Amino acid sequence: MSTSLNAGTSRGRVIVVGAINVDLVVAAERLPGPGETVVGTRVERYGGGKGANAAVAAARAGAEVHLVGAVGADANGTQALDELTAEGIWVDGVTVLEHEATGVALIVVDPRAENQIAVGAGANAALSAAYVTRALASVLRPSDSVLVSTEIPDAAVEAAVVAAASAGARCVLNPAPPIPGVADLLGYGPILTPNAGECVELAKMLGDEHTDAREAAAAIMARTGAPVVVTLGDDGALVLRPDGNIDHVRPRPTVARDTTGAGDTFNGVLITRLAGGDELDDAARAANVAAALSVAHVGARAGMPRATDIEAGSRA
């Protein structure tokens, strides 16, 4: 059982449901084209997976974090859990599957910090809805905030969103990637946090053809009745609320070395700030600062800031 390293500084209790991976990163002079091999100088291993990454971001931002997910009964799984425990994350909700491998992401990063990612889901693909339901039943409280990402099966995502709604807990759903099952969950009113491309794609799944992220987000919000936060990379973020207010969170100047995990950082800090009582606009501004800080280092988690770093960055 993990113990929290953030005791005494918690901004609330956060439950994260999502993927746990190992990231293998190759730094190359350019990204490969179709059928092309590009040779990099080195391979580096990092902890990854959208669920695990967001959990680390939330823990560093000051939340008490419980993670629900799956790893394989292999060395990668053991190391992944050890790394998460060292971050103060409760991993009791992570199941170890005997006949599955831990998920692996293969990442190529170029000098401009652009990347290409291919993921072998492994144990993440075997995370069942029944397990998610049981795991959340043992830990979830109405005062909790739940963050769900979609690198796990549709049924597991649905189980997490339904459990949060049934408990009366706040739910943030990061549709990365936008899976077909997301459309069926909008009636539960989760706060959605797509990037611009995901926002347009999700709106299209709903039958709303928009090429502009703002228009697509408004169409989605009309279905959920809940806010939509669209991450825009170098352009910051948009916060759309059902009362008609739209806030453009301005970008933060930064020198990017690797954008892997920036979205996970944003989501982890956003849910932490909401769990601690911040208004959505304030939470999004803090999350935007954290994401900008995170890209200054190679590896999804290496640059994820602590709460004090986020506060300092917010004042800069």
Binding residues for substrate: 21-23, 49-53, 151, 264
Collect all residues with Cβ–Cβ distance below 8 Å to 136 and sequence separation of at least 6: 15, 17, 68, 93, 146, 159, 160, 163, 164, 167
Residues within the annotated binding site? 21-23, 49-53, 151, 195, 231-236, 258, 260, 263-264, 288, 294, 297, 299
Q: Is 309 a catalytic residue?
A: no
Q: For residue 246, what are the β-bridge partners?
A: 240
Dist CA 51 CA 102 (whole Å) = 14
Residue type, 185: L
Query: For residue 73, which phi and psi values (nearest 5 degrees)?
Result: -85, 65
DSSP string, 124-161: GGG--HHHHHHHHHTT--TT-EEEEESSS-HHHHHHHH
Annotated active-site residue in 74, 264, 278, 282 = 264
Q: How many helices (H) and strands (E) does the chain have?
A: 9, 13
Reference 262, options 230, 301, 229, 227; nearest CA is 301
Dist CA 190 CA 208 (whole Å) = 19
Dist CA 43 CA 4 (whole Å) = 31
- Look up residue 281 and give its two tokens: 């606009």
Dist CA 40 CA 22 (whole Å) = 19
Residues serving a catalytic function are 264
